[in-house]
A and B are shown apart, each in its own frame.
Chain A
Amino acid sequence: MTVVLFRVDERLIHGQVVVGWGRRLEAGRLVVVSDALAAAASEQEIYRTGLPKGIEADFWSEELAAARLPELMDSDARILVLTSDLATMWRLAVAGVPIHEVNVGGLHAASGRESVLPYVYLDPDDRQRVRDFEAAGVRVTAQDVPGAARVRLERVL
């Protein structure tokens, strides 16, 4: 497997991911890492229903993802890994998933968050996660769609 993108995006599977990144990177499989969604079959079906042919989606718990992603690194599929927040992606990295770069998409306005980009709002914990990733040698960049400006988040915190 080639993980073509590790993306943090609150909307998880949506247009920017399926059309923008999915088509550009020729991803055939989306792996959503979420304990809540992994246990919600009906919710998974709502996400899967809209997927175009040629793209599959899996919904894995953090535990399953931490176990399976490293062992799948040599298969042929092109995979896009999605989490809805930085904390989940950080836990995957700590658990041993070989993440070399994190792409941040939409993290929208919410209580306690401040805007760093029009489509990225972070709270203090998110800021710390960005610093943690960078300290571990993992670049964290914000880019909502291919072709848009790619911003190193550490520089706009």
Chain B
Amino acid sequence: MTERCGAIVAHGGLAEGFLSALSRVAGPQENLWALSNEALSGEALTARLEELLDERAAGREVFLFADLDAGSCGLACRRLLEEGRVKAVFFGINLPVLIEFVFLQEQPLDRIIPLMLSKSRAALGVRP
């Protein structure tokens, strides 16, 4: 199976924060990277994301994780999806979807995407 990797693209320090939190619960992640849109134009953010994938993702299946679909992060991710450089873009992400990404690596592509989505949705709730 082709090895997978991913990038979290988010506002402010959120991507680094997600990665930090993920490392606390699932261990260090060598195949998942963080990118902030801080102080970057839309073009510059897309270019930075392309550079990141050029440097680290050759020959691998790439998943992208954006915080807001409507934001510049989601937009940059969609551009790479349009270019055919990534397999999927998840948006509105939470920690559970990243956990599933880590632990469902052995699942085939047509299984992992719906599984990640259903498990991350199920992890959001409210009590009482």
Contact = CB atoms under 8 A, between A and B. Distances in A.
Interface of A: 10-16, 18-19, 42, 46-47, 49-52, 106, 108-110, 118-119
11 contacts: A10-B42, A11-B41, A14-B70, A15-B11, A15-B72, A16-B71, A18-B70, A18-B71, A19-B71, A50-B69, A52-B70
Given A13-B70, A50-B69, A106 B78 contact: no
B74 interface: yes
Top 5 nearest A-B pairs (CB, nearest first) are A15-B71, A50-B69, A14-B72, A18-B70, A50-B70
B39 interface: yes
Contacts of A50: 68-71, 74-75, 78, 91
A15 B10 CA distance: 10
A19 B68 contact: yes
Interface residues of B, number: 19
B34 to A, nearest CB: 17
Interface string B61-72: 000000111111
B52 interface: no
A50 B71 CA distance: 8
B12 to A, nearest CB: 10
B73 interface: yes
B41 A13 contact: no
Given A19-B68, A46-B82, A119-B39, 11 more contacts: A14-B71, A14-B72, A15-B72, A18-B70, A42-B82, A50-B68, A50-B91, A51-B70, A108-B40, A108-B44, A110-B41
